[in-house]
Chains A and B, each alone.
Chain A
Amino acid sequence: MTRHPRLIKPSTTQDVTRLVKEAESKIFGGGTDLVPNRTWGLDTSGTWVQLGTVPETTMISIDEEGRWLIGAAVTLGVILEHPKISTLYPLLADAIRAVATPEIRNQATIGGNLCLDTRCRFRNQPPIWRSGLKPCFKSGGDHCYAAPASSRCVAIVSSDTAPALIALGARLKVQSTSGFRWIKTLDLYSGDGDRHLTLEPGEWIEAIRLPNFPPLGVFDKWRMRGSIDFPEVNVAVSVTQAKNSRTMRIVLGAMGPEPVRLREAEKLLGEGPWDPERLMHAVHTARDAVHPYDNGQIGVVGRKGAAEHILYRALKKLRIMMEEKGENA
């Protein structure tokens, strides 16, 4: 590991791509994840490629089809203060407001929030704690402390904006040496806590595109304290009502190495009236869909309880919103 990573400030997307392709280099958004990881010896990269000087990454703009584009290096604080985004996408704004603390949001970028390294209480620990422990998968070893029977790392994606952006149907603009492509937010995650992103070397996120007709949605988060803490679980639910059909997105986050869409619940709630039994039934599908390990702050019982609790709460709130809009649920 290099003791002092370089901090490079490229000014074009091409430069970024070239730099990010180099081994041992990482994008530096706001650094609120990278820097503390560095201090604890968890980040070993040799170069930090700072995005703040690349214009495409720092703008909030509208494309020709009227869709909002948020540059990956726009800070969460700036997004919240944007005159349009918060009102057009309250689901996203609620998720952002739930991230960390005001000071951290002033520095943290939305790209960084999506790409935030996975977390685990057997790894995200300070130096002395870790020094006597044999490395686990994520630290280059062949073992997982959180899930001894697992053949791969199950560290947690704790991003609060990820479930929200998935529920909104946002697309990510991925830059690479061969040009750019658009991917669905959910497709960013691999499901392996060690290499949790599907991005290849040289690939990075330039911007996030929001749909111009956002679905109605609700975000909720469970954490021990009223602030600062990462989510023990978070949830984003959304609904798009067409004439005779309803499209649902129900996403649970922070339960494992990727956000999870509850497809069965989506199907259940995609039709028929939302009476309490149906809602409960939908909520209970989470039991088979997510399997948290004991690597969070509270125990597994608590996390599962919290997941169902906020999912139910979010769905009830969504029902009220639908009723207010005159849509029947």
Chain B
Amino acid sequence: MSQNLVELSVNGSIQVMWAWESDTLLHVLREVLGLTGTKNGCEAGHCGACTVWIDGIPRLACLTPVGSVVNSEITTVEGLGSWWQERHPSSHYHPIQRAFVESGAVQCGFCTPGMLMAAAALLRDVKFLTDQDILERLAGHLCRCTGYEQIVQAIRQAALTEVTEQ
């Protein structure tokens, strides 16, 4: 058996590489493509640090064999800003990134990329956010530093900016 030629679309560009189909997307993103913004906190689905978008849906890169997503569009934290900019040309950054900075939602930052991907999807999916929505959608993301409060605040703040910007 040998590796396969795998074609992936990541953050809007096509990447072709040799990989085992069963290699996890997390491994491929970090080790093959050098996109190290997506973090490895457990490699087992327990922590949420590796959350990326697959066709816009937040999923865990450590549970996803790369062979299962060859025809999908993958977005990582590195691509979140451009994803936003395509829709709102005035900014390179997604409002949730700014909100995390401004609300003190970032401490060590290791959980942050996963949190951002979950939060950005939430902001996109739900127009008028409640705190309940936030707690539910972040339920799979462990953060050891913040006690979560400032993260929730950041998402609330971003929800407000998003509404006012549109």
CA of A50 to CA of B67 in the docked complex: distance in angstroms?
10
Write out the residue numbers on chain B whose beta carbons fall within 8 Å of the beta carbon of A102: 58, 118, 136-137, 139-140
Within 101-145 of B, Cβ neighbours of A (below 8 Å) are at: 118, 136-137, 139-141
Please, how many angstroms separate the alpha-carbon atoms of A226 and B20 in the complex?
A: 36
| A237: min CB distance to chain B, Å | 24
Complex interface: stretch among B9-17, B39-47, B154-162? B39-47
Give the number of residues in A that approach B within 8 Å (Cβ atoms): 29
B91 shortest CB reach to chain A, Å: 26
Known: A103-B51, A103-B59, A104-B60. A35 touches B139 (CB 8 A): no
CB distance from B68 to the nearest CB of A (A): 6
Beta-carbon contacts under 8 Å, A15-52 to B: 28, 30-32, 35-36, 38-40, 48, 50, 52
B65 at the interface (CB under 8 A from A): yes
Question: Can you sample 11 A-B contacts with CB below 8 Å?
Answer: A4-B20, A6-B1, A6-B21, A7-B22, A35-B45, A36-B44, A36-B62, A77-B57, A102-B140, A104-B63, A104-B140
Which residues of chain B from 60 to 119 have a CB within 8 Å of any chain A CB? 60, 62-65, 67-68, 118
Q: From residue A231, how far is it (CB to closest CB) to chain B in Å?
A: 15
Q: Which residues of B contact A30 (CB under 8 A)?
A: 63
Interface centre among B20, B57, B63 (most CB of A within 10 A): B63
On whether the beta carbons of A106 and B22 are closer than 8 Å, the reply is no
| Chain B residues close to A by CB (< 8 Å) | 1, 20-24, 43-46, 48, 51, 57-60, 62-65, 67-68, 118, 136-137, 139-141
Contacts A4-B1, A4-B22 given; does A103 touch B140 at CB 8 Å: yes
Inter-chain contact B1/A35, CB cutoff 8 Å:
no
B22, A103: Cβ atoms under 8 Å?
no
B65 interface neighbour in A31, A101, A227, Cβ under 8 Å: A31
Give CA–CA (A74, B142) in the complex, Å. Answer: 27
Contacts of B20 in A (CB 8 A): 4
In the assembled complex, the Cα of A148 lies from the Cα of B137 at a distance in Å of: 41
Assess whether A103 is in contact with B68, with CB atoms less than 8 Å apart. no
B29 to chain A, nearest CB (A): 15
Residues of A within 8 A of B45 (CB): 32, 35-36, 100, 104
Cα A154 to Cα B76 with chains together (Å): 41
Q: What string of 1s and 0s marks CB contacts (under 8 Å) between A204-247 and chain B?
A: 00000000000000000000001110000000000000000000
Which residues of the partner chain A approach B22 to less than 8 Å between Cβ atoms?
4-7, 38, 48
Q: How far is the CB of A43 from chain B (nearest CB, A)?
A: 10
Q: Within the complex, what minimum Cβ distance (angstroms) separates B93 from chain A?
A: 23
Interface residue? A285 (CB, 8 A):
no
B59 touches A107 (CB 8 A): yes
- Bound Cα distance A103, B138 (Å): 9
Decide yes or no: A106 and B1 within 8 Å by CB, A39-B43, A39-B44, A227-B140 being known contacts: no
Shortest beta-carbon distance from B48 to chain A in Å: 6
A2 is an interface residue with CB less than 8 A from chain B: yes
Q: In the complex, which residues of chain A have a beta carbon less than 8 angstroms from the beta carbon of B139? A: 101-102, 226-228
Docked CA distance A43–B63 (Å): 13
| Minimal beta-carbon separation of A216 from chain B (angstroms) | 25
Question: In the complex the two chains form, what is the Cα distance from A30 to B64 in whole Å?
Answer: 8
4 nearest interchain CB pairs? A101-B140, A227-B139, A7-B67, A4-B20
Give Cα A15–Cα B95 distance, bound, in whole angstroms: 47
- Residues of the A chain whose Cβ atoms lie less than 8 Å from the Cβ of B51: 103
Measured in the bound complex, the distance between the Cα atoms of B24 and A32 in whole Å is: 12
Contact of A35 among B46, B64, B141 (CB under 8 A): B64
Q: A31-B64, A228-B140 are in contact. List 12 more A-B contacts (CB 8 A).
A: A4-B23, A7-B65, A31-B68, A32-B45, A48-B22, A52-B68, A102-B118, A103-B60, A104-B45, A104-B63, A104-B140, A126-B44
